[in-house]
Structure 1
Amino acid sequence: MGGQVTEKPKHRQHHSLFQIKDSKSWLSMEGMAQAMKSPFGVPENPEFTFGLDGPLSKLKMEVLKEGVSIIVLTGFGGSGKTTLATKLCWDEQVKGKFKENILFVTFSKTPKLKVIVEGLFEYCGYQVPEFQSDEDAVIQLGRLLLKFGASPMLLVLDDVWPGAETIVEKFKIKIPDYKILMTSRVAFPRFGTPLILKPLVHEDAITLFRHHALLEKSSSNSPTDDLVQKVVRHCNGIPLAIKVIGRLLCHQPNELWRKMEEELSQGHSILDSNIELLTFLEKILDVLEDNSIVKECFMDLGLFPEDQRIPVSALIDLWAESYGLDDDGIEAMAIINKLSSKNLANVSVTRKNTSDTDSDYYNNHFIILHDTLRDLAIYESTKEQSKQRKRVMIDINENDPEWNLGEKQQGMMTRILSNCFRWCAELKPQQIPAHTLSITIDETCTSYWSNMRATKAEVLILNLRTNQHFLPGFLKEMSKLKVLVVTNYSFHPSEMNNFELLGSLPKLKRIRLERISVPSFVTLKNLKKLSLYLCNTRQAFENGYMLISDSFPNIEDLNIDYCKDMVELPEGLCDITSLKRLSVTNCHKLSALPQEIEKLGNLELLRLNSCTDLEGVPDSIGGLSNLRILDISNCVGLSNLPEDFGKLFNLRNLYMTSCARCELPSSIINLKNLTKVVCDEETAASWEPFKPMLPNLNISRINGSFSVGI
C-alpha cells in the first residue's frame, strides 16, 4: 500500500526471480543495514573465463566515470553478457566504490515491475507492501532507494528485452552517483551509445575450448590440432557454443570429433540469426542419442519460465511418471548431473542442510538454464509433428494480449510459443494430443480457456504471475492427468479457485504447489504425493471442511516446506496409515507433533528440519516401528527426546545438527540398527558416552552454521 516504508526484521528468503547465492539466517534489528552486507542477487563469480579482460576494462571505465546514468551492454545470445556483468560486480574497484550497494535483477522477456520491487523490499529487510498499482510500486521504490542515502549505488538489469524500456525508465531515480547497467541482445539507442560485446577472437576461443574439452594434457587419443581448430572456428567465437561443444566432445573418440566437425561445417554462420545458433546447438544433442531419456529430460526444461529457477523436486515428479524413473530422485539427479557436466544446465543448491547428505533430499536443488539453451529445448520440442507433439507450451502475458503473434518481433521463441497457441486454437477441442502441457499466464489473461481441451495430457504445469487464479475448466476433462505442478511467481501467495475440479481426476498421483494459498481439500483417492512449498496452509489445515485423511486416504509422501503460517499438522493426518514419508521443514511456527503419531505405522522417513519452534517430541513416537530416517536438525527448541525414543528399533539414520541442548534418553542404547548420526561437534559430545554400547554407530561431525533462510 502507499505510505512510508515500514521496517520489519525478518529472515531473508530466496525469491524465485533472483539468483541469490549467499543466504543469511535472520536479519537483525538494524534491518536494511544488516541485510546489505553482501551484494544482492549477484551470481557467483565465474571460475574460468577467457577473453573478457578487455571488455571488462571498458565496461568498468564507463561504470566508474562521472555523469553516465545508464550503460547498455549488448551482444549476441550466448556471447557472455551476463558473465561480464557478473565479473564487473565482483571487481575489486567496483566493489570498492559501490560496496554492498550492488543490486542484480534479472528482467527476462516479461518483467513484472511490482514483483521486482517486492523482491528488493524483501532483500532489504522491510515489510513488503501490497502495491495498488505499478505507479504505487514506483513511488515506494523511490522511497526505498533513498534509504541508501548518498552512497554510490549500482543496479544491474540483466536480460532486458524490447518493450521493457518503459519499465527501465521507472528505475531512473534522481539519486547522486546512481548507475544502471543493462544487458540486452538489442542496443536501445534511446539510452545512449551501447557497449558491444563482440565474439571472442580465435586465440581466446581456442583457450576457452581447450579448457572445457579438457585438452590441457595431450595423449594418443587426443584429436589433432587441425581438427580442434576447425571445430572452434565453427563456433564463431560465441562462448556458450564453445563451452557446450567442448564439454560434449570431452574424452570422446576421434570418430565423433570428425562427425561433429562435418555436421557443423554445413549451414550458415551462427552469427546470422538466433535460429542459426539453435540449429547449430541442435546438432550437438546427437551426442545424447545413446540415452534418449536424457534428451527428453533436457527438452522438459523448456516447460518452465525463462530466467526462473527450476525445482529439482518438480522434475523428479515429472520424470517419475513420464519415464518411470525412481521416486527417490537418484536417477533424476544422475540425468541432471549429466546435463550439467555437458554445460547444458547449471545446478544451484540454495541452502546446504545436514540432510542434504541424505541422497533423496533435493528441496534446495534448482536448475538454472541459460536463455539460449531454454530456446533450444523449446525448439527441439516444437519440431515434432503437431499430432505427435509430446509437449505444448503456451505463454500468455499482459505485455501482448494477442499472444505475441510476431508483431512485436520479440524473438523466434516467442513466435514458436505463439504458433503453439494458434495451433491449439485451430484444432478441434478434443484434439490437443500432447502428453505434457505447460501454460504461463498472468492476471490479465484468465478467460481464454473455453476452446482448449487436453484430454490426453498426463502432466500439467501452470506457471502463474497473479495473486488470484481460477483453475481452467478443461481440467475436469483431463482424465489421464497424473502430475500437476502449479507455481506462482508473484511475491504474495496466489488465491487458488476451482480447486474442486481436481476431484474429477481419477489418475492424479502427484501435486506440487508453490506460493499458493491452499483452499479446502477435495477427495483424491489415488494421490500418492503432495508437495507444498512457500504456501499458505491455514485455510486447508485448520478451517477446511474435510479432513486430510478423507481427502488423501492413500497418500504415501507428504512434503511441506517453508509454510510459515502452519502451527500444527492437519487434523486427521495420523489416520493416513499409507503414509511412508513425512517431511515438514522450515515451518517455524510448528510447535508440537500430535500424540497419535504412533498410528503412522508405515512411516519410514520423518523430516522436521528447521522447525525452530518445535518444543518436544511425543512419547508415542516410539510406536513408529518402521521409521528408518529421522531429521530433527536445527530444531533448536527441542530440550529432550522422550524415553520411548529407544523403541525405534529400525532407525538407521539420525540427523540432529544444532541440537546441543537436546538431552538424550538412556534408552538410546536400544537403537542397535542405528548406523549414522550426523550432527555438529557440540551435539556429538552428548553421543560419545553411548558409542561403546552401539558398535555399529558412526558419528559424522559437520561444520556449518544454523540458517533458516531459503
Structure 2
Amino acid sequence: MAGAFVGGAALGAAFGELLKAVLDVKDRAVKFKSILSDLAFKLEAIEPVFQEIEKLDRVLDRPVEETNSFIHRLKDAKELVLKCSKIKWWNYCKKPYYAKKLIDLENSLLKFFQIEVQALLSRDSRKILVVVNDIDEKLDRIGSNLGYGGQNSDLSICVGPCGVPGVPDFIIGMDAPLKELKMQLLKDGVSVVVLSAPGGCGKTTLAKMLCHDDEIIGSFRDNIFFVTVSETPNLKVIIQKVFQHKGYMVPEFQNDDDAINQLESLLKQIGTDPVLLVLDDVWSGSESLIQNFMFKVPKYKILVTSRFVFPRFDSTYKLELLNDKDAMALFRNSAFLQDGSSSVPDDLVNEIVKGCRGFPLALKVVGGSLRGQPEVVWRRTMKQWSEGQSIFDSNSELLKRLQTSLDALDEKIKECYLDLGSFPEDQRIPVTALMDLWVELYNLDEDGMHALANLHELSTRNLANLVFASKDASEVDGYYNEHFVMQHDLLRELAIHRSNDKPIELRRRLIMDIRGNELPKWSSEQLQQPIHARLLSVSTDETFSSSWYNMQLPEVEVLILNFRARNYILPKFMEKMDQLKVLIITNYDFCPAEISNFPLLHSLSSIKRIRLEHVSISSLGISILELRNLHKISLVMCEIGEAFRNFPTQIPDMLPNLVEIDLDCCNDLVEFPVGLCEIVHLKKLSITNCHELDALPEELGKLASLEVLRFRKCTKLPELPESIGSLHKLSYLDISDCISMSKMPIQMGELCGLKRLNMRGCWGLSELPTSVKDLGQLKDVICDDETTHLWEPYKIHLSNLKIKVLKQDINLNWLPNLYL
C-alpha cells in the first residue's frame, strides 16, 4: 500500500509540473500562445482525474510500475513545452515544427487519457466498481467536452449541467437577504429552506448569489447542484443531471423509485463533504417532488425557490420587495443613461417608481420600456396605470400592468416578442430557429441582421436575454448557431397572455402546453370550425400518448413541436396544413427521439424550412424528396445515420429550391454524403461542431453555386479536397478550429470570388499553397497568433488584404442547456 501511495503522489507531482510549465510559458512564448492556452485549459479540466487515480491507489494495492509510464509521458510533455519557450520570435522555420509537436502532444495526451488510463482502471477489483465507473465516465466526458467528439464541446466540463449560472452585472437590495438566507440555510438541524416570493422578485438571482458566496463555496466546495425545476418537473431527468454533473455514467432508470434510490446511493458515495441541492422555480403541488430529494445524508441541504409557500416545510425565507431607495436605484439603472441625467420631471419618475411598488421585474421592464422616451410617453403610461387596480394583487395583475411596457415597441418587434412564448419554459431558444420563422412570417432579410437587431432591442428593454455559447460568436459572418435567447418565466407568461386576448378562432398564434393527455377543451369544440392562426406551438411531455384531435388549421404557416419523448408521432392534422412554410421540431429528452411517421411530410407542398433538433432521422431522406419548395434544412444534435445516403441522382430536379443546409453537432457524421453534392444550386453549406467528420469527397467541387461554406469546429477534418478550386462563386470560407487540418488545397488560388476566410485555430497548418497570391478578391482573413505569419509572404500580392488576429477567449460563464 505504501508503494502505491508514493506512485500516486509522484504522478500528481509530474502532472502539476507539466501544468505549471504550460501556464508559465504560454504568456512568454507568444508564437505558441493560443496552442498553449488551449492546452492549459484542457489540462486544468483533466486535473480531477489524477486526483481520482490517487484515491484509487490508496484503496488498491497497485504496483508503482503501473504509473511510471504515465509519469514519463508527463515529463516528456514538460520538456517539449520548455523547448518551445526558447524558440525566438523571428525563427519561422522552427515554429511550424514545434507547433505541430504541441498539437500532436495534445492529441496524444487525450488518446492516452481515453485509452491507456481507462485500460488501467478497468482492471480494478469489483468491490469498487462504482468508483471505477465514475472515473471512466469523467474520462469520456473529457474527450467529448474538450471538442473531440462531444455534442457540447468546450464548456460543460467546466460548469456542468447542474452548474451555478452567473449573476447579473447590476444587483441592488440583495446584501441583507443574502446574509439572512445564508444564516438560515447553514443553521444546524435545517435540511430544507424554501425561498419564496412572487415571480420576478429576484429569487433565482438571490439563489445564484448564495451559491457564489465564498462561505458557501468553502463549505460545500464542488458539491453544489443547481437545477431548474419549472412547472412540469421530470424527476428522472433532474437526477440524470446530477449524475452527469459529477461525471458519473448516466444510468437508465426503471422508474422514479429507482432514480431516487440511485441518487441516494450517489450522495452517500460523494463523501463526507456537505452537499447543497438548489431546486429553482418549484411550482405549487410539487411538495412531493421536494420530499423525494430528502435523504438522511449528513450535511445535506436543499434550497427551494418558488413563487409559492410550502407549509409542510418548517424553514421558509420570504424575499421582500425592494425598499424605496433600492427601487429607485434599480429603476434609474434601467430607465436612464449611465450618468443618470434625464429631462423627465422627478415627480413623474417618483410616481412611476411608486407604481411599481418595489417589484424588481416591473422596475426593470418598465424602466427599459421608457428609456429614451419623451415625457408624453411617461405620462401616458402613468395615466394607463391610474385607470386600473394594483399591479401586485397577484401575478395576473402584474401581467396586465406589464403589458403597457409593450406599447412602446414597434409592431414587428412586439410580434417577435410574442413569438418567444412559443418555446418551452426555462429552455434556451436558438436564434437560428427564430430567424427561420421570422423570415417567413415577417419577410425579414435572410442574413438575419434584422432579426438579431430585434432581439437586441428586446434585450435592452429587459424583455429577453441574449446569451452566447462563446464570446467570439460572430454576428458579422452570419453565424448564429452559438446565439440563444433566454426569457424570464413571467415574461413568457406575458407573451402568452397577450397572444390569448382574442377568441380561439381569431388568434394569430395558438400556443398549447399539454400535460399528460389533457388536451384543451376548445380543441374538441373547434373540430367543425377552422382556426385562423398563422403560428401553432404544441408542447408535450413524456406522458403524452400522441392522440390528437383532427383540428382544422388551414392558415398555419409556422408549426413548432416541442416534446420530451423517446418516440414521437407527428400530428395527423399536419396533412391539411396547405400553407405551412416552417416546421420546427425539438426534442428535450435525454436521448434522441425516433419519429415514426416522417413520410407524412410529403404532403407539405408549401414548406420552405425544416429544423429538427435532437432526433433520429434515418428515414428522412426519402420523405423530403417531394418537397419541391424546400429552401433550407437544419439538423441540430441529430443522429443522421443513413439519412442522406443512397439519394437518387435526380436530386437537383426533386429539390429545385433547396439552397441551404445546416448540420450542427451531428456526431455520427463521419463522411460527407456524396449524394448532397448533386444539389448544384446549393448556396450555403454549414457543417459545424461535427467532431467525427474526417473526410470530404472530391465531388464537393460540383457545388458550383456555393457562396458560403463552413466547416467550423470539425476537429478531425484533415484537409479540404482539391476540387474546392471549382467553387468560383464562393465568397466566404470558414475552417476555424479545424485543429487537425494540416494543409490547404493547391488549387486554393482558383477561388476567384473568395472575399472572407476564417482560419482561426488551424494550428496544424505550417504553410499555405503559393496559389493564394491569386486570391485577388480576398479582403479579410481571420486568424490567430499561430497562423498570422503564414500570410506575410503574400501581402505584397494582396494589396487589399486585412488580417484580423483574434485571441483565445473561452467563455466559462455561459451555461449550456443540455437536453436533460
TM-score after normalising by structure 1? 0.90
Aligned equivalents of 1:125, 1:689: Cα separation in 2 = 48
Q: Does 2:524 correspond to 1:402?
A: no
Q: Does 2:590 correspond to 1:590?
A: no
Aligned equivalents of 2:426, 2:212: Cα separation in 1 = 21
CA-based RMSD of the aligned residues comes to 2.4
- The alpha-carbon distance between structure 1 residues 127 and 674, as it changes in their structure 2 partners (threshold 3 A), is farther
Correspondent of 2:140 among 10, 14, 23: 10
- The alpha-carbon distance between structure 1 residues 370 and 573, as it changes in their structure 2 partners (threshold 3 A), is same
Q: Does 2:230 correspond to 1:114?
A: no
**Match for residue 293 of structure 2?**
171
SS at match of 2:729: coil
- The alpha-carbon distance between structure 1 residues 707 and 300, as it changes in their structure 2 partners (threshold 3 A), is closer
Q: Does 2:396 correspond to 1:248?
A: no
Q: How far 1:140 moved relative to its partner?
A: 3.1
- Which residue identity does 2:513 align to in structure 1? D
Pairing of 1:649-664 with structure 2 (within 5 A): 649-662=752-765, 663-664=767-768
- The alpha-carbon distance between structure 1 residues 85 and 259, as it changes in their structure 2 partners (threshold 3 A), is same
**Match for residue 303 of structure 1?**
422
| Alignment check: 8 A CA contact 2:652 2:680 kept | no
**Match for residue 807 of structure 2?**
703
Aligned equivalents of 1:37, 1:436: Cα separation in 2 = 36
**Match for residue 26 of structure 2?**
none
Q: Does 2:662 correspond to 1:559?
A: yes
| Alignment check: 8 A CA contact 1:150 1:175 kept | no
Q: How far 1:142 moved relative to its partner?
A: 2.9
Q: Does 2:219 correspond to 1:97?
A: yes
Aligned equivalents of 1:117, 1:338: Cα separation in 2 = 37
Q: How far 1:395 moved relative to its partner?
A: 1.3
- The alpha-carbon distance between structure 1 residues 548 and 538, as it changes in their structure 2 partners (threshold 3 A), is farther
- The alpha-carbon distance between structure 1 residues 545 and 153, as it changes in their structure 2 partners (threshold 3 A), is farther
Pairing of 1:385-464 with structure 2 (within 5 A): 385-398=503-516, 401-402=517-518, 421-429=520-528, 431-464=530-563
State which drifts further: 690-699 or 72-81: 690-699
| Alignment check: 8 A CA contact 2:614 2:636 kept | yes
Aligned equivalents of 2:542, 2:652: Cα separation in 1 = 33
- The alpha-carbon distance between structure 1 residues 705 and 236, as it changes in their structure 2 partners (threshold 3 A), is closer
Q: How far 1:177 moved relative to its partner?
A: 1.4
Aligned equivalents of 2:750, 2:708: Cα separation in 1 = 16
Aligned equivalents of 2:305, 2:333: Cα separation in 1 = 26
**Match for residue 677 of structure 2?**
574
**Match for residue 203 of structure 1?**
325
Correspondent of 2:432 among 282, 292, 313: 313
SS at match of 1:194: strand
| Alignment check: 8 A CA contact 1:616 1:641 kept | yes
The runs of 5 or more residues in structure 1 that have no matched partner are 15-22, 29-33, 404-420
Q: Does 2:729 correspond to 1:626?
A: yes
Q: Does 2:764 correspond to 1:646?
A: no
- The alpha-carbon distance between structure 1 residues 212 and 696, as it changes in their structure 2 partners (threshold 3 A), is same
**Match for residue 418 of structure 1?**
none
- The alpha-carbon distance between structure 1 residues 460 and 216, as it changes in their structure 2 partners (threshold 3 A), is closer
Q: Does 2:323 correspond to 1:193?
A: no
SS at match of 2:658: coil
Whichever of the two has the greater Rg, that structure is 2
**Match for residue 489 of structure 1?**
588
Deviation string, structure 1 residues 561-591 (Cα, Å, up to 9, x no partner): 0011111122310100121000001101111
**Match for residue 565 of structure 2?**
466
Q: Does 2:183 correspond to 1:70?
A: no
**Match for residue 62 of structure 2?**
none
**Match for residue 363 of structure 1?**
481
SS at match of 1:159: strand
- The alpha-carbon distance between structure 1 residues 455 and 682, as it changes in their structure 2 partners (threshold 3 A), is same
Correspondent of 1:152 among 246, 270, 274: 274
| Alignment check: 8 A CA contact 1:25 1:706 kept | no
**Match for residue 407 of structure 1?**
none
Aligned equivalents of 1:178, 1:263: Cα separation in 2 = 49
| Alignment check: 8 A CA contact 2:648 2:675 kept | no
Q: How far 1:285 moved relative to its partner?
A: 1.1
Pairing of 1:192-271 with structure 2 (within 5 A): 192-214=314-336, 217=339, 219=341, 222-271=343-392
Aligned equivalents of 1:11, 1:530: Cα separation in 2 = 30
Pairing of 1:126-145 with structure 2 (within 5 A): 126-145=248-267
- The alpha-carbon distance between structure 1 residues 125 and 543, as it changes in their structure 2 partners (threshold 3 A), is farther
- The alpha-carbon distance between structure 1 residues 546 and 43, as it changes in their structure 2 partners (threshold 3 A), is farther
Q: How far 1:456 moved relative to its partner?
A: 1.6
Name the structure with the higher helix share: 2
SS at match of 1:190: coil
Aligned equivalents of 1:37, 1:273: Cα separation in 2 = 36
**Match for residue 441 of structure 2?**
322
- The alpha-carbon distance between structure 1 residues 35 and 313, as it changes in their structure 2 partners (threshold 3 A), is closer
Aligned equivalents of 1:543, 1:99: Cα separation in 2 = 53
Aligned equivalents of 2:781, 2:239: Cα separation in 1 = 43
Q: Does 2:634 correspond to 1:512?
A: no
Deviation string, structure 1 residues 56-84 (Cα, Å, up to 9, x no partner): 11111122232211110000111110111
| Alignment check: 8 A CA contact 1:349 1:366 kept | yes
- The alpha-carbon distance between structure 1 residues 40 and 24, as it changes in their structure 2 partners (threshold 3 A), is farther
- The alpha-carbon distance between structure 1 residues 52 and 27, as it changes in their structure 2 partners (threshold 3 A), is farther
Q: How far 1:547 moved relative to its partner?
A: 8.6
- Which residue identity does 2:346 align to in structure 1? D
Count of aligned pairs: 672
- Which residue identity does 1:515 align to in structure 2? H
Q: Percent identity?
A: 47
- Which residue identity does 2:493 align to in structure 1? D
Between the two structures, name the one with larger relative contact order (CA 8 Å, sep ≥ 6): 2
**Match for residue 396 of structure 2?**
275
Correspondent of 2:773 among 640, 649, 669: 669
Q: How far 1:358 moved relative to its partner?
A: 3.1
Q: How far 1:175 moved relative to its partner?
A: 2.6
Aligned equivalents of 1:138, 1:488: Cα separation in 2 = 24
Q: Does 2:432 correspond to 1:333?
A: no
Q: Does 2:782 correspond to 1:682?
A: no
Aligned equivalents of 2:373, 2:204: Cα separation in 1 = 30
Deviation string, structure 1 residues 380-399 (Cα, Å, up to 9, x no partner): 0000233221111111123x
- Which residue identity does 1:228 align to in structure 2? V
Aligned equivalents of 1:667, 1:240: Cα separation in 2 = 58
Deviation string, structure 1 residues 143-196 (Cα, Å, up to 9, x no partner): 433443211221111100123222222222333212111000111111223110
| Alignment check: 8 A CA contact 1:514 1:535 kept | yes
SS at match of 1:71: strand
The runs of 5 or more residues in structure 2 that have no matched partner are 1-128, 151-155
| Alignment check: 8 A CA contact 2:322 2:360 kept | yes
| Alignment check: 8 A CA contact 1:76 1:271 kept | no
